[in-house]
């Protein structure tokens, strides 16, 4: 466990982001995606705060284990929890958790649907269906719509609790061909179910990238993920289409272990990488053991008016940051060194420099970096 390298999570900013979300979609209910440990921010404190202080009543996980953690650690929470991918309802121990712990499996293939409908134990469990409208990952195939309707009606059910799909290209303009096709496919899917006499209690299609472009808001629900943690989901050329003005809810801090001068050509660290100019090296207390990847080499980080550049190989426990000679007066061992703060542009710039995405920057931080929470 680190002591001075930490992820500071400002829950007041999470509440502020939710208020901004509701300005974009005031008529939609929210399923807040908290998979992968709340995108690396800590699912339990994120959900506890979102439920108790913000009023969010529905959450989305990827695995049954994630959903069980929420039920176990927030036992008095009267909220819905969906499991979107790793559901395994055919395993007896998993089925019992769904039935006894108020957890909703999202059914995305015929085999799981058959098991669900044929099991008397699931007779009164809400039916949640996910269709593939173009993502081509998980989801019932559109060609199976008639078959699915027949199975549901023959089981005596009159409604679908939640019908959903997922945009594959919401990071692009929502008027692009792929996104328009998916919207049309979902509209046709809803029409087919309604024409067959099945009620649709809830529907959802829009993830963060779609929501920040105000797309898919004709459905009852939206499913924000990344945007609730702050960044835009759109690729850089498309961000002019975004209505999103959220802030990063976290700040990744470390500190400077040591500062020393170097001459041009001085070899640094593993591999003896030579520096390109005279200047100073600041050793910071983050490495790949903390989720600060070896791919970050060459990226720049702003610090007190100067641009530091990560040089040499990122180590397991530390990294080397090069500064020009002019930065000497601001470089002191023991000082706090911030990797990202609440400015989304800073995080997005770091992601672009390192060839990664904000999701990964958040999620790859290991448990060695403590999460500290500001509860207002």
Rounded Cα distance between 210 and 169, Å, is: 9
What is the CATH classification number for the domain harbouring 222? 3.20.20.10
Assigned domain for 6 exists: no
Residues 219, 96, single domain; the answer is yes
Residues 197, 303, single domain; the answer is no
In DSSP terms, 286 is beta-bridged to none
Assigned domain for 235 exists: no
Assigned domain for 244 exists: no
376 pLDDT tier (thresholds 50, 70, 90): low
pLDDT digits (tens, 9 = 90+) for 303-360: 999 999 999 999 999 999 999 999 999 999 999 999 999 999 999 999 999 999 999 9
Q: Which two tokens stand for residue 19?
A: 């208020």
Rounded Cα distance between 131 and 144, Å, is: 9
pLDDT digits (tens, 9 = 90+) for 235-280: 999 999 999 999 999 999 999 999 999 999 999 999 999 999 999 9
* Residues ≥6 apart with Cβ < 8 Å to 72: none
Mean pLDDT of 71-95: 96
Residues 286, 151, single domain; the answer is no
Handedness of CA 226, 229, 235, 237 (dihedral sign): positive
Q: Which two tokens stand for residue 315?
A: 């180590």
Q: What is the 3-state secondary structure (H, E, C) of the chain?
A: CCCCCEEEEEHHHHHHHHHHHHHHCCCCEECEECHHHHHCCCHHHHHHHHHHHHCCCEEEEEEHHHHHHHHHHCCCCCCEEEEEEECCCCCHHHHHHHHHCCEEECECCHHHHHHHHHCHHHCCCCCEEEEECCCCCCCEEHHHHHHHHHHHHHCCCCEECEEECCCCCCCCCCCCHHHHHHHHHHHHHHHHHHHCCCEECCEECCCHHHHCCCCCCCCCEECCCHHHHCCCCCCHHHHHHCCCCCCCCEEEEEEEEEEEEECCCCEECCCCEECCCCEEEEEECCCHHHCCCHHHCCCEEEECCEEEEEECCCCCCCEEEEEEHHHHHHCCCCCEEEEECCCHHHHHHHHHHCCCCHHHHHHCCCCCCCEEEECC
Look at strands 279-284 and 306-311 and give their pairing.
unpaired
Per-chain mean pLDDT for the chain? 97
Phi–psi pair at 187, nearest 5 degrees: -60, -40
Angle of helix 92-100 relative to helix 64-73, nearest 10 degrees? Answer: 40
Mean pLDDT of 286-300: 97
Residues 302, 171, single domain; the answer is no
Rounded Cα distance between 264 and 362, Å, is: 34
Q: Is 375 a residue whose pLDDT tops 80?
A: no
End-to-end CA distance of the chain: 25
What is the CATH classification number for the domain harbouring 322? 2.40.37.10
Residues 214, 270, single domain; the answer is no
Domain that holds residue 149: 11-228
Percentage of residues in the chain having pLDDT higher than 90? 99
Assigned domain for 3 exists: no
Whole-prediction pTM: 0.96
1 pLDDT tier (thresholds 50, 70, 90): confident
pLDDT digits (tens, 9 = 90+) for 9-30: 999 999 999 999 999 999 999 9
Q: Which two tokens stand for residue 263?
A: 């001459």
Phi–psi pair at 310, nearest 5 degrees: -70, 120
Mean pLDDT of 96-107: 96
Residues 135, 170, single domain; the answer is yes
**Residues 20/258, Cβ–Cβ less than 8 Å:** no
Ramachandran bin of 197, using left for φ above 0, alpha for ψ from -120 to 50, beta for the remaining angles: left
Assigned domain for 242 exists: no
Q: Which two tokens stand for residue 200?
A: 């649709």
What is the side-by-side strand order in the sheet with 29-30?
Answer: 29-30, 221-222, 203-204, 162-164, 128-132, 140-141
Residues 74, 164, single domain; the answer is yes
Residues 47, 122, single domain; the answer is yes
Residues 299, 208, single domain; the answer is no
Taking the CA atoms of the chain, what radius of gyration do you get in angstroms?
24
Residues 254, 182, single domain; the answer is no
Residues 194, 313, single domain; the answer is no
Mean pLDDT of 123-130: 96
Residues 202, 309, single domain; the answer is no
- Give me the count of residues in the chain: 376
What total of structural domains would you count in the chain?
2
Where a domain ends, among 168, 198, 228?
Answer: 228
């Amino acid at each position: 466990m680190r002591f001075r390298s930490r992820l500071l999570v400002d829950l007041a900013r999470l509440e502020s982001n939710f208020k901004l979300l509701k300005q974009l979609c005031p008529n939609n209910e929210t399923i807040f995606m908290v998979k992968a440990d709340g995108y690396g921010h800590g699912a339990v404190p994120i959900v506890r705060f979102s439920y108790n202080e913000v009023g969010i009543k529905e959450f989305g996980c990827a695995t049954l284990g994630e959903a069980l953690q929420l039920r176990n650690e927030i036992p008095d929470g009267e909220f819905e929890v969906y499991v979107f991918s790793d559901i395994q309802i055919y395993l007896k121990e998993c089925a019992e958790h769904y039935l006894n712990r108020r957890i909703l499996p999202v059914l995305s293939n015929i085999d799981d649907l058959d098991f669900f409908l044929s099991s008397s134990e699931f007779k009164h469990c809400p039916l949640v269906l996910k269709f593939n409208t173009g993502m081509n990952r998980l989801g019932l195939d559109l060609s199976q719509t008639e078959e699915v309707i027949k199975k549901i009606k023959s089981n005596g059910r009159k409604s679908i609790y939640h019908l959903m799909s997922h945009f594959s290209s919401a990071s692009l303009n929502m008027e692009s061909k792929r996104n328009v096709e998916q919207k049309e496919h979902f509209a046709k899917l809803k029409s087919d179910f309604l024409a067959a006499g099945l009620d649709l209690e809830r529907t959802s299609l829009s993830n963060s990238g779609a929501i920040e472009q105000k797309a898919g808001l004709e459905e009852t629900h939206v499913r924000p993920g990344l945007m609730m943690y702050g960044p835009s989901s759109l690729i850089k050329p498309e961000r002019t289409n975004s209505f999103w003005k959220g802030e990063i809810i976290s700040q990744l801090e470390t500190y400077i272990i040591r500062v020393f001068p170097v001459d041009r050509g001085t070899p640094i660290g593993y591999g003896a990488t030579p520096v390109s100019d005279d200047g100073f090296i600041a050793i910071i207390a983050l490495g790949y053991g903390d989720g600060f990847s070896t791919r970050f080499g060459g990226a720049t980080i702003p610090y007190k008016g100067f641009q530091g550049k990560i040089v040499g190989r990122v180590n397991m426990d530390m990294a080397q940051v090069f500064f020009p000679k002019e930065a000497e007066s601001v470089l002191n061992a023991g000082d706090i060194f911030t990797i990202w703060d609440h400015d989304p542009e800073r995080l997005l710039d770091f992601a672009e420099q390192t060839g990664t995405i904000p999701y990964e920057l958040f999620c790859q931080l290991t448990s060695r970096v403590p999460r500290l929470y500001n509860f207002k």
